[in-house]
Structure formats: structure tokens, C-alpha cells
Amino acid sequence: MPAKTDLRRPVRLPGHLRAGLSILAFLGFAVVIPLFLRVTSEAPYTDTAFLLRYSVVLYASVRISAILWREPVTPVAGVFWMFVYICMGVVPLAQLATGASTMLARQVDDATLQAATAVTLLGCFSFDIAYNLRLFRHADRPAPSRTLRSIDTLRVFAVVAIFGGLIYVVQVGGLGVFFASRQEAGQALDQLSPDSGQAVRSIVSAFGSVGCLVALIFYIHVLRLMRHSLNLVDAFLLAALVVMNLIVNNPISNSRYWALSVLFGLIMPLIRFRKSLFNLAIIGGILAAILVFPLSDVTRRKAGADAVLQADSVWHMISTKDYDQFSMLANTLSFTGDAGFAWGYQFLGPVLFWVPRGIWPTKPLDSGVEVGLWMSSANVNLSSPLWAEAWINFGVPGVVVTLALLGLVSRRFDSGFGAGKVSANAVGYLGVSILAGYMFILLRGSLLQSMGRLMVLAVAVACLTAVVNRKSGDKR
């Protein structure tokens, strides 16, 4: 009989193949795409403006190429630089070249846009330095391996998650709401507790959707790698989890960034340590975000299914759709120029997101909402990228510290992903995979909206796993 492939071992991609792919990716991302934008430009702009925005594209391209070249699989860093390249690099460059922008963006002067680019680069430098420098002793020591507590724990958790999903469906108004549009699903959630603001909505949607996703991913791991026999109970739970995820996590009623997080969380455990597949996911993800992701806006409104997409080119499409992160960073700079910094007050909202507004009437508004009200925007459901969240609180020091802390945490998570090589029982990489996917939402913002699902996600992974000492094998 042919020998079976050991799925616990990392599948190495030869160095010359990684190098070749890295160089090709760099040429495509840093040269071909910007050059195409340059030669097909439709709006007047200065060389200085182009070079400033191109600097973000170039920097992100260098970091992505390095990730593709290096041997380890680093999902968290990969997501960070994908986000920077697309949302803070290519989209602002496309907006400059086409002269088009999202309708949600307030027209700011060139100096503010240049300042937004400088703040973006400052955050990237801070993240990069913290991620790559050995700032602490034992910084390179792999994170302790995490193992599944027991199959019975997973079964109990799956039952709780399924009931949580059913409660979510009933509370929102039935199955039909989940297959209508994001607007209708959001309106149904808002009716749960109108006086409590985002708190109740965030907790209910998180409890109903995240648990089912985590349970399904862990069950897939158990069946694939732990060689667990599928008895009648497990078969029923697995089928129920698949159905519940198709309902509560479908891309029709959920935000596109959550759908992207779900997809990444499902794909990464299947990729595991296969470097070739990881590289393919990074490159394919970037191309899909530019070419396909904006098309999913068709499911946003009630009439979305009948709407006709109108776009002169892919560059117009990404310039005018919901890639508003760079524009909202510029808007936030203008906002603080008028209103001043929050000096940490805006951070209290995400930290204490679970407190209903009825109990805390002066609870900070979502940062995107705060800036949207200042802009007199009809739609205040705006993004607030992490750079903007840090800036609105503390300015330059806030950006440096916040992105540096993210770099440190990201390195630790990527190290924890590598610790999953220890044995088939190691499941720490599952939690890192899901958290890496959720980085898209954390980076897009706002923090207040993202906290509910993040809390449920962290609690779910903690309930299902236990830390193991790699040397002794003892649980701590």
C-alpha cells in the first residue's frame, strides 16, 4: 500500500520556487498594476501626489513578496499586508488616477490626503518594526501548543452553538431575513433593543454566528487529522453546523468583510503548513479583492438582487465602492483638526462595548459614526480603519503605539500557528486561522462594531482548547 502523507508536517516549497513566485508577485503588484494606472490615468494630478500614494503600494508589495519568499506560513502578517496593499495602497492610487471616489468621502484638500498617506506609512513602519525586531527576551520562542480539551467538550460546545444560532434566527425574525439583504438583516437586528445602541446587536449576532463557525472548523479538524470515527451524534452535529453556518454566516445578509473572514478561517486550516497553497491564497486573495469583491455590493440593499452594476472599469469600481478606508482616515484627520483629539475616550467604547447605552448614556459613539455626523453624511455607517481609531484618540503617538502593539501580537499569533506542527492533537493553529481572518474586520474598523464577535471568538477558542507544555506534555 502507498504511504500516506503525514498532514502534521509542513509541506516545504523549494527555495527557488518561492523566490521565483516572490519576484513575479512583486513585479505584478509593485510595477504592472501601478504602471497600468499611470498610463490610463483620466484625471490630472501631480507627480508628487502619485509617488506619495505609490509609496504605500511599493512598501506593501515588498512585505508581501518577503512573506511569499520566506518558508514559514504567517497568516496574520499576510492579512495585514494584504489589507494595506489593497485598501490603503491600490484603492487610493486608483482614486487619484480616475478622479473618482466613494460617495461617502468628504472632499478634503491635497495636504490632508498627503497627511493621510504619511499616517498610513507611519503605522506600517510601526507594525513592521515591532513584528520583526526582537524587542523582548525569548521573543522568538514558539508559543505553547494548544490542544483540544476533549471530543466531548467539542460536542457540548457544538450543541450550545447550534442553539445559539437558532435563537439568533428566531430573534431576528426567521430564515427569510438571512436571505434578503444586508440592509434588511441590519434593520431586523436594530429592532431587538433600539435603546441599547450597538451593544445588544453586536452580542446577539456574535453569539449566533461565531460559535457555529468555530465549532464547524474544529469538527473538520477532528475528522481530518485526529482520525476520529464519525458516529451518529457527530454526524448529526456536523450536518447541523453546516446548515446553521449556511444560514447565519451566508454572504447575503452579512457584511462582505465578515464573509471574507469566514472564508479565510475555513481555508487556512485546510492549507495548514502547505506553503504553496498559502502563497496561492495570498496572491489570489489580492486579485479577488480588486476584481471580485466590489461586485458583492449587489446584495447590500433591498433591491440589490435586481440592481444593475455600473462601472466604466475595475479601477472606477474599486474607487467608488466601499473601499473608503483611506478616505475615512483623511476625514478623521480633518475631524480632529476641528474637534481635537479624544485622548482615549473613543477607546472606552470598544473596551466597554457590552455596556448598553441605556445604562451609559454618554457612551462614545462608533468612531465612524462620530466622523460621519461631523461630515453631515446621510449614511453614518462608515468604516474607521485602525489608523483612524488610533489617530482620533492620541494622534501620532497613538498610531505608533497601536500599530506597534498589533505587530507584537501578530508575531505571537503567527508563532502560535507554527506551534501547531507538534502533533495532530494540536489545534492552536485553528484559533490563529480564525483570528487572522478576523483581522480584515479589525483593520477596517470600527473597533466598537468588531468587539462583539472578537470577544465570542476568543472565549470559544479558550473553551475548546488547553495550553500544553511542549517539553513535558503536561497541561497547565
pLDDT value at position 107?
A: 59
Closest CA to 456 of 215, 102, 142: 215
The total of other beta-carbon atoms located within 10 Å of residue 54's CB is: 22
User: What is the Cα–Cα distance from 369 to 340, expressed in whole angstroms?
Assistant: 16
DSSP code of 475? B
pLDDT value at position 303?
A: 47
Report pLDDT digits (tens) over 420-429.
Answer: 554 556 777 8
pLDDT value at position 304?
A: 44
pLDDT value at position 242?
A: 94
pLDDT value at position 296?
A: 58
Give how far Cα 55 sits from Cα of 86, 286, 316, 351, Å. 13, 18, 21, 34
Contact of 62 with 84, CB cutoff 8 Å: no
pLDDT value at position 100?
A: 78
> How does the average pLDDT of the chain come out, rounded?
82
User: What is the Cα–Cα distance from 298 to 304, expressed in whole angstroms?
Assistant: 5
User: What is the Cα–Cα distance from 367 to 383, expressed in whole angstroms?
Assistant: 8
pLDDT value at position 363?
A: 87
User: What is the Cα–Cα distance from 182 to 92, expressed in whole angstroms?
Assistant: 26
Report pLDDT digits (tens) over 41-92.
Answer: 888 888 999 999 999 999 999 999 999 998 889 999 999 999 999 999 999 9
pLDDT value at position 418?
A: 73
pLDDT value at position 309?
A: 47
The ranges of the chain with pLDDT < 50 are 1-8, 299, 303-309, 422, 471-476
pLDDT value at position 290?
A: 86
Backbone phi, then psi, for 277, in 5-degree steps? -70, -35
Helices (H), 226-366: 232-248, 256-271, 275-291, 314-320, 325-339, 345-351
pLDDT value at position 135?
A: 58
N residues, the chain: 476
pLDDT value at position 434?
A: 87
